[in-house]
Amino acid sequence: MVRSILSVQDLTKTFGGLVAVNGMNFDVGEHEVLGLIGPNGSGKTTMMNLISGALKPTSGSISLQGTRISDLPAQEINRKGVARTFQLVRLLPSLNVIENVIAGAVFGHRKRWGAEAENYAKEMLERVGLQVAAHAPVSTLTYIDQKRLELARVLASDPKILLLDEWLAGLNPTELETGIALIRDLRGEGRTIILVEHVMDAIRSLCDRCVVMNSGTKIAEGTPAEVLADREVIRAYLGDDDA
């Protein structure tokens, strides 16, 4: 791994008696695409919520470029360059397509205003292939176009780290190819990405490295080929009864 940009240290999150994230440790290198994978309920979204600041850890810490961010409010973490998409798409329904992207540019890590924000928003819409729909109401977008828009909005904040939580989920096979190609382009631009994904083809073709979670703990870490051949990982995915 090159220089670490994000560092997760001894991170734990409990909900009542449930330990959703249990002593997690991992680093994300600059320009790295890190896959965060694991069976349903293993704690991936909770991990993303902790990194983005939507949830506060019970114990442990997260640092961005050596500075502890896990005590900061979500907005502050976003301003420092950590941007996310949601497992269920969240857009601003009263704004049209380009206005949604401008909102990302105005509130993001590298703030842009007025004409600069609008031009940048146009660029981001082109980036995700949604320029023709710039002035359409959000309600008229197909599902893949909503996903494109969410990505454009997040990119408009020019994040240092992009958190994608099952961004590819729910796409049909053709859309999936488009979606994977889009993320591959982002990877080609040298963006740092944490990818939570159940689509193994995407994990194999996009990730430099994977961290595998099961019941809140890290059970494997390595290249996609390494972790997907790991016995404990296979057992976790199949369930104990099948191992």
Ligand X SMILES: Nc1ncnc2c1ncn2[C@@H]1O[C@H](COP(=O)(O)OP(=O)(O)OP(=O)(O)O)[C@@H](O)[C@H]1O
Which spans of this chain sit near Mg ion (rule: CB under 5 A)? 44-45
Residue closer to ligand X, measured from CB, 189 or 240:
240
174 binds ligand X (CB under 6 A): no
Pairing of strands 33-37, 209-214: parallel
Nearest Cα to Cα of residue 47 among 157, 222, 195: 195
Residue closer to Mg ion, measured from CB, 158 or 165:
165
Candidate list 24, 33, 43, 144; residue touching ligand X; CB under 6 A: 43
Name 64's bridge partners.
6, 67
Quote the CA–CA distance of 211 and 29 in Å, as a whole number. Answer: 13
Q: Of Mg ion, ligand X, none, which one does residue 174 interact with (CB within 5 to 8 Å by kind)?
A: none
- How many residues in the shown chain lie near ligand X by CB under 6 A? 11
Which range binds ligand X by CB under 6 A, 12-20, 71-79, 90-98, 109-117?
A: 12-20
35 binds ligand X (CB under 6 A): no
Quote the CA–CA distance of 86 and 23 in Å, as a whole number. Answer: 24
In the complex, the smallest distance separating the C-beta of residue 89 from Mg ion, rounded to whole angstroms, is 14
Contact status, residue 197 vs residue 168, Cβ threshold 8 Å: yes
200 binds ligand X (CB under 6 A): no
Q: What are phi and psi of 61, to 5 degrees?
A: -150, 165
Q: Of ligand X, Mg ion, none, which one does residue 15 interact with (CB within 5 to 8 Å by kind)?
A: ligand X
Which range binds ligand X by CB under 6 A, 35-43, 90-98, 199-207, 228-236?
A: 35-43
In the complex, the smallest distance separating the C-beta of residue 58 from ligand X, rounded to whole angstroms, is 12
Contact status, residue 128 vs residue 167, Cβ threshold 8 Å: no
Residue 95 token pair: 């704004």
Candidate list 44, 148, 153, 218; residue touching ligand X; CB under 6 A: 44
18 binds ligand X (CB under 6 A): yes
Name 19's bridge partners.
14
Candidate list 17, 40, 188, 240; residue touching ligand X; CB under 6 A: 40
Distances, alpha carbon 10 to alpha carbons 57, 68, 71, in Å:
10, 13, 15
Contact status, residue 79 vs residue 72, Cβ threshold 8 Å: no
C-alpha torsion 91→94→100→104, nearest 10: -80
Which range binds ligand X by CB under 6 A, 41-49, 58-66, 127-135, 179-187?
A: 41-49
Which residues lie near ligand X (CB under 6 A)? 15, 18, 20, 38, 40-46
